[in-house]
């Protein structure tokens, strides 16, 4: 597989690369990013390898990420029209302004205009709700987004970091009212974050929404930089700056140990193995990778060449499976009651002590 092995995102005709270039680290304002010159070199190399899918946000480095993309790509139509640029809204860049952020109509339109200006383009390919606004009616948000699509300023819409029931409500409302539905879902997903598998991933598959996982390396914790002996000593890394190192408990270190073993077996890096696992997950369309340097980009793209065996994938699954949430546990119990002890669609339920064992047990 390569970056130009394009896939359609969700139930749409939008063709995107299997790895999306995340640009949260473009700009140095947050202390964890690349200079404009480094970022432009990363963009150029990603495009050279066939990549066409960018992810940014109005909030990333306070808008500097969007400006770097605009300076490098947006101002040149020959480059811009070949790229799928996705950006996100909802973030308030104007302290004291109650309508500077959020998902209300006034905020959405103004944020869109600001992003278009920074990106130096007259349209956004994929406009993402960055996070849900509990103070705005769902119908107002979806109608405003539909109006942006109708106006030509936005081509498609997606949603990020929102409960499954809210995504399903908004998506279904859009379909019933002939408004623009979601084609993409951004959620955190990695070997250290799998709770999204209970409801968000199955929801996206059922509704035909393409999943683009973010932080597949858990802010660098799965990159191979951290080991049992140096945890807490890797200065300047995103995981250290954001206080994520505290998540490295015994379970996490066991996963890191296994990643290192598999990296040696496949003659690659722990980061590439961790990414290959995410890429293999059901429902995942295009995984968002971040890179502060060209070397990091090269290491991440190498994940597309890795084919983990069923046994290798199963070993990572077993080490990283989190405790099941209520709905998943209830599904297992329900299967035991419903299946009558037989296998259905490859699922053989465990034996529940209250189910009848024979016809003699039934009244």
Q: Which CATH number covers residue 298? A: 3.20.20.100
What pLDDT, on a 0 to 100 scale, did the predictor assign at position 344? 80
Count of the separate structural domains present in the chain = 2
For residues 209 and 346, membership in a common domain is answered with: no
- Please spell the DSSP secondary structure of 299-353, one letter per residue: HHHGGGG----HHHHHHHHHHHPPPPPHHHHHHHHHHHHHSTTS-BTTB-PPPPT
- Same domain for 212 and 338, yes or no, is no
Quick check: 99 and 107 in contact, CB under 8 A? Answer: yes
Determine the pLDDT at residue 342.
77
Q: Where are the beta strands (DSSP E) in 60-123?
A: 84-89
Q: How confident is the model at residue 170 (pLDDT cuts 50, 70, 90)?
A: very high
The answer as to whether 158 is a domain residue is: yes
Q: What's the confidence (pLDDT) of residue 238?
A: 58
Do 48 and 195 lie in a common domain?
A: yes
Lowest mean pLDDT among 6-20, 120-134, 240-254: 240-254
Residue 245 has what DSSP assignment? G
Residue among 6, 46, 60, 127 flagged as catalytic: 60
Residues 256 and 354 in one domain: no
Residue 1 within any structural domain of the chain = no
Asked if pLDDT for residue 29 goes beyond 60, the answer is yes
The verdict on whether 60 is a catalytic residue reads yes
- pLDDT classification of 328: cutoffs 50, 70, 90: confident
β-sheet bridge partners, residue 159: 129, 185
Verify that 340 and 279 share a domain, yes or no. Answer: no
Domain with 272 in it? 7-320
Query: For residue 171, is it within any domain?
Result: yes
Do 316 and 335 fall within a single domain?
no
Whether 274 and 344 map to the same domain: the answer is no
- pTM for this prediction: 0.91
Residues 213 and 352 in one domain: no
Lowest mean pLDDT among 129-133, 235-239, 243-247, 335-339: 235-239
In a domain? residue 58: yes
pLDDT reading at 229 higher than 90: no
143 with 210, same domain? yes
| Pair 199, 338 in one domain | no
Task: Name the band, by pLDDT with cuts 50, 70 and 90, for residue 1.
Answer: confident
pLDDT at 93: 93
């Amino acid at each position: 597989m390569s970056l130009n092995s394009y896939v359609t995102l969700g139930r749409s005709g939008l063709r995107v690369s299997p790895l999306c270039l995340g640009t949260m680290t473009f700009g140095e304002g947050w202390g964890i990013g690349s200079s404009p010159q480094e970022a432009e070199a990363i963009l150029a190399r990603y495009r050279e390898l066939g990549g066409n899918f960018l992810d940014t946000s109005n909030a990333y480095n306070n808008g500097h990420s969007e400006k770097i993309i605009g300076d490098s790509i947006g101002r040149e139509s020959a480059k811009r029209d070949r790229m799928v640029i996705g950006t996100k809204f909802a973030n308030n860049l104007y302290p004291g302004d109650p309508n500077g952020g959020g998902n209300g109509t006034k905020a959405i339109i103004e944020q869109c205009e600001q992003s278009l200006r920074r990106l130096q383009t007259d349209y956004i390919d994929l406009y993402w709700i960055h996070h849900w606004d509990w103070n705005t009616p769902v119908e107002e948000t979806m109608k405003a987004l539909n109006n942006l699509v109708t106006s030509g300023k936005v081509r498609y819409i997606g949603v990020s970091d929102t409960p499954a029931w809210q995504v399903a409500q908004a998506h279904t409302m859009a379909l019933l009212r002939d408004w623009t539905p979601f084609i993409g879902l951004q959620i955190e997903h990695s070997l250290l974050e799998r709770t999204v598998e209970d409801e968000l991933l199955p929801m996206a598959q059922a509704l035909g929404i393409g999943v683009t996982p973010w932080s597949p390396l858990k802010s660098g914790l799965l990159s191979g930089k951290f080991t049992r002996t140096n945890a807490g000593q890797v200065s300047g890394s995103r995981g250290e700056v954001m206080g994520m190192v505290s998540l490295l408990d015994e379970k996490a270190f066991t996963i890191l140990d296994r990643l290192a073993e598999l990296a040696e077996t496949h003659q690659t890096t722990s980061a590439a193995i961790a990414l290959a696992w995410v890429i293999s997950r059901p429902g995942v369309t295009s995984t968002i990778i971040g890179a502060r340097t060209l070397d990091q980009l090269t290491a991440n793209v190498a994940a597309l060449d890795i084919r983990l065996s069923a046994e290798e994938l199963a070993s990572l699954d077993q080490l990283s499976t989190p405790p099941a949430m209520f709905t998943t546990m209830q599904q297992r119990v329900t299967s035991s009651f419903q299946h009558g002890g037989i296998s259905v669609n490859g699922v053989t339920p465990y034996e529940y002590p209250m189910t009848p064992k024979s016809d003699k047990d039934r009244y």
